[in-house]
Structure 1
Amino acid sequence: MSVLRSGSPHRPARSLALVAGVLLSLLSLLLGLSGTAGAAAVRRAPEPRHPDRDWAGSQIARHEGTAAGGAPPAASLMASVEGVDVSSHNGSVSWSTLWNSGVRFAYVKATESTSYTNPSFAQQYNGSYTIGMIRGAYHFATPDTSSGAAQATYFAGHGGGWSKDGRTLPGALDMEYNPYGSTCYGLSPAGMVNWMKDWFATYKARTGRDAVLYTSTGWWKQCTGNSTAFGAVNPLWIPRYGSSVGELPAGWGFHTIWQYTSSGPTVGDHNRFNGSLDRLKALANG
């Protein structure tokens, strides 16, 4: 009879346990890699900057919808003045065509953040003035890229200035949905309000004028907590694509300009000033 060595009956069991351990380790590793790949697939890279495709209402139309063509809203019994707003996506604008259609004022995008100027700004800003319109410039805000003061300074120095010539409107601050990421640019409501206060104060110090504020009621509620901090001072330019201006953001009892349609790249977005031409001139004069 042969004599078994001590422990030899347990070798097969230990071998199986070892193999099982290796397999479990490999399985864990594979699952870990799969999870990492899955997480990487979920994390999207930030959208590249495209300031040439950002204009007053571009994100409002995307998030809140637009009226699908059709006739413009009927004029109210109160006086109003027809206007447009344009940016680089409109290219070279035929201001004579717009003038002949009854347009009497224009807002032109000048800047975005502290690095972009509209390459069509001169043709659009000077062309609207030359044809006889009252014109103004606006800044597309990106509060996650720099301070309000920095962006107001950049805007005032790159087309957003003001002169008391009776034909130049105060600059406008365009606050709307972030085209590159987080709706509210990563700011809390209080942080957003403070950013805008910084922008408006800096702009007024540079130009002597209180700027116009472009914003929608939906965005305003979400990103400022429906702040009432600006309604007493800054004229409201509100986008609402339909037959009426609808609910206003908190703090304003009336609107100054209504962007009532986003009509595409050929003639710009259409607006109505809430008052007579004399009142529009008064806004220009300050």
Structure 2
Amino acid sequence: MKRRHPLLRGSAVLFAGVAAVALCGPTAQAAPSYAGAEDNYAGSQIAKHEGVGGVPHIRYSAEDQVLGHDVSGHQGAVDWPSTAGAGAKFVYVKATEGTGFVNPQFAQQYNGSYSAGLVRGAYHFARPDVSDGASQAEYFLAHGGGWSNDGRTLPGALDAEYNPYGDTCYGKDSATLVAWIRSFSDTYRARTGRLPTIYTSTSWWKKCLGNSPAFGANPLWLARYNSQVGELPAGWPRQSIWQFADQGVLPGDQNWLNGPLTLLRDLAIG
């Protein structure tokens, strides 16, 4: 019986160990989660963290104010002629989240609202935990988040709110989040010529961005479910849109424009 030379036996053992490492490879990072992304919409996490107390959900007056709303895949297909008949003048529609989710109802909601005569815009649910701001702006633009100077398209909006997947501030400090939003905003402006609207709540902005005053030039879409607008985040002297209730006469969340119809046109054309 032939016996293998001791050195050859050692080489075989070494090769087997290297092969095992090669097969296993480095530990792969888990893919970002988008579980439940269809139910993440403007204010979904704000309502969970801040509540909706004191909100006139159903009965309110639209006199001398411009009523609008926002929708996402959470609402499904929207009856736009009925929505317009109920008084809606504008709508923001969720387009994307992170760099891995597109609202399956986006075309029906975005195009349908336009056909019914509403001024419409798209928004992006920010995920600073999965990729940088510039990449998410590009993803948003590639999936419906663009802007056109037709007088009926609002600038794209960035939905910056509580993390539905974990740490409230996405595991980032305030300086990092300020830089992330700046990257998104600058990329969007470079591609469209418009600063994106920023959607947020004062409480989240204070907690996660240290109440940064850096974005006062961006239109503010404020979430606060109450009968008064209340305190604004630093840097903004006024809000452009106030999301005042999470339900009402229109599908989705209810919004007031902070001014007359002429302001809505001004916001659309920049």
TM-score by length of 2: 0.84
Residues 198-234 of structure 1, C-alpha deviation per residue, up to 9 Å, x if partnerless? Answer: 0000011111111100000000000000000001x10
Structure 1 residue aligned with 2:25: none
Aligned mate of 1:228, from 213, 228, 231? 213
Q: In 2, Cα distance between the equivalents of 1:266 and 1:88?
A: 15
Structure 1, unpaired ranges of 5+: 1-45
CA contact (8 A) 1:256 1:273 kept: yes
Which amino acid in the other structure matches residue 70 of structure 2? D
Q: In 2, Cα distance between the equivalents of 1:129 and 1:100?
A: 14
SS of residue matched to 1:281: helix
Structure 2 residue aligned with 1:120: 105
Count how many residue pairs are aligned between Structure 1 and Structure 2.
238
Give matches, 1:89-104, under 5 Å.
89-104=74-89
1:160 aligns with 2:145: yes
Give matches, 1:55-134, under 5 Å.
55-67=41-53, 70-72=57-59, 79-134=64-119
Query: Which stretch has the larger CA shift, 265-274 or 109-118?
Result: 265-274
SS of residue matched to 1:234: coil
Q: What is the CA distance between 1:49 and its match in structure 2?
A: 2.4
CA contact (8 A) 1:85 1:268 kept: yes
Q: In 2, Cα distance between the equivalents of 1:265 and 1:174?
A: 23
Structure 2 residue aligned with 1:150: 135
Q: In 1, Cα distance between the equivalents of 2:89 and 2:265?
A: 11
Q: What is the CA distance between 1:263 and its match in structure 2?
A: 1.3
Give matches, 1:1-286, under 5 Å.
49-67=35-53, 70-72=57-59, 79-231=64-216, 233-263=217-247, 267-286=251-270
Q: In 1, Cα distance between the equivalents of 2:246 and 2:98?
A: 23
Q: What is the CA distance between 1:70 and its match in structure 2?
A: 4.4
Which amino acid in the other structure matches residue 270 of structure 1? Q
Residues 63-92 of structure 1, C-alpha deviation per residue, up to 9 Å, x if partnerless? Answer: 00013664455568xx42100100001000
Residues 177-209 of structure 1, C-alpha deviation per residue, up to 9 Å, x if partnerless? Answer: 000000000110000000000000001111111
CA contact (8 A) 1:90 1:265 kept: no
SS of residue matched to 2:38: helix
CA RMSD of aligned residues (A): 1.9
Q: In 2, Cα distance between the equivalents of 1:87 and 1:221?
A: 26
CA contact (8 A) 1:56 1:174 kept: yes
CA contact (8 A) 1:72 1:260 kept: no
Structure 2, unpaired ranges of 5+: 1-31
Q: In 1, Cα distance between the equivalents of 2:126 and 2:57?
A: 31
Q: What is the CA distance between 1:283 and its match in structure 2?
A: 0.9
Structure 2 residue aligned with 1:43: none
The structure 1 segments of at least 4 consecutive aligned residues displaced by more than 3 Å after TM superposition are: 67-76
CA contact (8 A) 1:160 1:171 kept: yes
Which amino acid in the other structure matches residue 180 of structure 1? Y
Residues 255-281 of structure 1, C-alpha deviation per residue, up to 9 Å, x if partnerless? Answer: 100001001898111101101111111
CA contact (8 A) 1:113 1:142 kept: yes
Q: In 1, Cα distance between the equivalents of 2:248 and 2:105?
A: 17
Instruction: Tell which structure's C-alpha radius of gyration is larger.
Output: 1
SS of residue matched to 1:203: helix
Q: What is the CA distance between 1:235 and its match in structure 2?
A: 0.7
CA contact (8 A) 1:117 1:158 kept: yes
Q: What is the CA distance between 1:47 and its match in structure 2?
A: 7.5
